[in-house]
Chains A and B, each alone.
Chain A
Amino acid sequence: MIDVLTALFNLLIYPGLLFISILGLVYEWVDRKAVARFQNRMGPFHTGPRGFLQPLADFIKLMAKEDITPAWADKILFAAAPLFAIVIPTFATLYIPIAGKPVLPPFEGDLILIISLTTFFTITAFIAGWSSMNRFSTIGAIRAGLQLLAFEIPMFIAVASVAMSANSLCITTIAQKQIFEIQLAGTTYKILLPYALLQPLGFAVFLIALQAELERVPFDIPEAESEIVAGWLTEFSGKKLAFLRLSSDIRLVLGTALATAIFLGGGNGPILPPIIWFLIKATIIVIISAMLRALFARIRIDQLVIGAWKYLIPLSLVQLVFTKLLMVVM
C-alpha cells in the first residue's frame, strides 16, 4: 500500500507531473529574464518577486479566456493536439533522473524511447497546424515537419556517440558512467568528467539541434511571428493555448534535462543532493540557450535544412568516428 502511494506521489507530485510543470514555469522565467538582460531590458518585473510568478500569471490568464474553435477545423484533432502536446514531453521527462532516480523504472533503451518521442511531438505540431484549416497554420505545420528533417539526425548521432562511449542506452547509466575513479597516493577519488568536456563537438551539435527542437530563435521558423502570425499555434486560444504554451515550457525542461543527464553528468556532484546539482546544471543550459536566442536572427527554413545537412551532420559524424577510434585505441 505504501509502495503504491509512494509511486503515485512520485508520479504525480514530485518529481513527476506537478514538479515538471512548475519547473517548466520556473525555467520560462529564467529564460525570459536572461534574454531580457542580454537585451539590456528588464523582463518580467511586477508579478511576484522580480516577476517570478509571471509565467504562472500568463497560464492562469489564458485559462480564463474564451476558447474558440474555427468553424472549419477538424474538431477532434484540434482538441486533441494540446493534450498530446502536454502528455508526450511529460512522459519523456519521467525517464530522466532529475532527482537521482527517474520516476519510471529505467531500462536499456529508454534513451531511444525519449528521442523518438520528440519525433512524436513534431507530428503533434503538424496535426495541430493541419487541423486548424488556416493558411498560416498550414505553413507553420509544414515548416515544423521540415525542421524535424533538419535537426533530428544530428541530434541522434550526437546522442549515439555518447551512448557508444558509455556502452549503454539507459540514461541513468549514462549519467552514472561520467563518474571516474582515479587512484592518487593510495586513496580513491571520484571525479566527474562530463561528456561535454570529453566530446565537445557532440555537445555543441546537440545544443544547436536542441535549439531547433524547442523551436527557439534562430530556429523558431514554425512559429515565425512576423511572417505567419503564430504558425501552427495560430488558431488556438484560451485553455488550449495555455496548455500549448505549458507544453513548450515542459519541452524546455525535457531538452535541458536530457542535455544535463547525458552531457553534464546530471545529478552527480559532491556534497549537495542530486536534485540541486541537476537544477544548477540545467539552469546553465537554459542560460546558454537564452544566449543563443539573443544572439541571432531567424534563418529561413531552406537555409536551415541545407545548413543542417551540410554542416551539422558531418560534424556529428566526425564526433562519432573520433569517439569510436578513441575507444578502439584505449
Chain B
Amino acid sequence: MEFRTWVQGIFLVERICGICNTPHTTCYVLTVEELYGVEAPPRAQYIRTIINELNRIHSHLLWVGVLGMEIGFWSYFMYIWRDRERVMDVVELITGNRVTTSAMLIGGVAYDITPEMEGPIRRAMDYLEERTKFYKKVFETDPTIRARTQDVGVLPTSVAIDLCAVGPTARGSDVKSDVRVDEPYCAYGEVPFNLVTYPTCDVWARAMVRIDEVLESINIIRGCLDKMPSGPIKLRLPRVPPPGEAMNRVEAPRGELLHYCKSDGKEKPYRFKARTPTLANIPALCEMLKGYYIADIPAIISSIDPCYCCTERLIFRDINSGKIWTMSYDELRRYSLKWYKGNGGRRN
C-alpha cells in the first residue's frame, strides 16, 4: 500500500479479500477522509450503506451454503448459491461488477442509484427475504443439521469476551458487540435495525446469527432506499491529504475490521495497516475445538467464517528462547518433505 498513491490504494485494499471487499474499501476511504478532515455527502453515505449491506447479504449467504457443504448437505448449498445470484445481479446493476465493486472513492461513491434501479432492488429484496426465511426454517427444523451443529463448538460467553472474539462469533455467544451500533458510521445511525444475538453459544447459534443478519440487512437496505437524501455523490478533494494519522473500524461480515493510516504529506501513504476480524477470532477458534470429534472440525472451523486471505501471515515463535521467525514457501515445503520422510511410515 505504501507504494501506491492514495487513490490507487482504494483498488488495492479492495483486493485484500474477495468476499468482504466493500468493508475494506469503506474503512480505507473513511480513514483517508478523516485525514482530510471532511465527510462524504449524505447521499454518498447512504449509497455506501446500501453497498455494504448488499455485500453482507452475499457474504452471509455464501457462508451458510458453505456450512451446509461442510456438513455434507449439498442440496442446501446449491439452493442458497442459486439465490445468492440475485444479490450479485443487484450489485452488478449498481456498480458494474458482481464481486469487487470498485464503487468507493475518497470523498464519495463512484456510482449513483438511479430511480429506475429502485424497482429491481426492491423486488430482489422481497425475493431474498422469502428465501432466507425458508432457509432459516430449514436450519431450525432439519434433524440432520441440528444433529451436526447444536452443542458443537461451544464457546462460553465469558471465554468469548476474554479472547476478544468479534462479529457473529461473539454475537452467537450472547455478546452484544457490533460496530454499527457501538460507533455508527455511514448511514447506520439514521436507519433503524436490530442487534442479533443468540444465547446457545454453539455452531448453530453462529449460523442463526448470520441468517438473521441477512434479514436485518434487507430491512436496512429498504430503510436506506426510503430515506435516501438527494445531492451530490462525491466531493472534489486535493490530491494529497495533510499530514496526520487516523484509524477507523467498520463491521465487516466477519466482525470488526480496523484500518490505520498515516500520512506525511506525500502522494503515497507513509504507513498503512489492516487488522482483519478473522485474526481476532483465531484464539477463540483454538478454544472452540477442544473436546470434539474429527467430524466436527469442518463445522467448527467454518463457523467463525474464516477468510484466510484476510488473515495475517503466520509467525513462528519459540516460547523458551524468544526467537521469532517466518517461513517462506520453499522453506515450508522442504520442512514438510523432511517431516514426512521421517514420520511418514507411522499411521498417526
Contacts and interface: CB of A to CB of B under 8 A. Distances in A.
Interface stretch (B4-12, B160-168, B232-240, B291-299): B291-299
Interface string B73-87: 111101100100000
A302 interface: yes
A40 interface: yes
A330 B71 CA distance: 48
A227 B3 CA distance: 41
Given A71-B344, A226-B69, A296-B144, A302 B75 contact: no
A72 B344 contact: yes
B347 A138 contact: yes
Interface string A48-77: 000000000000000000000001100000
B148 A302 contact: no
B3 to A, nearest CB: 39
B145 interface: yes
A232 to B, nearest CB: 13
Contacts of B82: 40
Interface in B79-106: 79, 82
A138 B347 CA distance: 8
B303 to A, nearest CB: 13
Given A40-B82, A138-B348, A227-B298, A300 B293 contact: yes
Which of A39, A134, A301 has its CB near the most chain B CB atoms (within 10 A)?
Answer: A39
B147 A224 contact: no
Interface residues of B, number: 27
Contacts of A135: 347-348
Interface in A194-250: 217-218, 220-221, 224-228
B72 A298 contact: yes
B68 interface: yes
A297 B345 contact: no
Interface in B279-300: 293-298
Interface size class of A (residues with CB under 8 A): 20 to 34
Main secondary structure of the interface of A (DSSP, over half): loop
Given A218-B144, A226-B70, A227-B294, A297 B76 contact: yes
B240 to A, nearest CB: 49
Nearest to B67: A297
A297 B68 contact: yes
A176 B163 CA distance: 68
B135 to A, nearest CB: 13
B142 interface: yes
Contacts of A38: 75
Contact of A297 (B79, B145, B294): B145
A227 B295 contact: yes
B148 A299 contact: yes
Nearest to B78: A39
A300 B203 CA distance: 15
Interface string B21-48: 0000000000000000000000000000
A138 B78 CA distance: 31
B147 A72 contact: no
16 contacts: A39-B75, A40-B78, A135-B348, A138-B347, A139-B294, A217-B74, A221-B295, A226-B72, A227-B298, A294-B75, A296-B144, A297-B68, A297-B144, A299-B144, A299-B148, A300-B295
Interface of B: 68-76, 78-79, 82, 142, 144-145, 147-148, 293-298, 344-345, 347-348
Please provide the 3 A-B residue pairs with the shortest distance between their CB atoms, ordered closest to farther.
A298-B72, A297-B73, A297-B144
Interface of A: 35, 38-41, 71-72, 133-135, 138-139, 217-218, 220-221, 224-228, 294-303
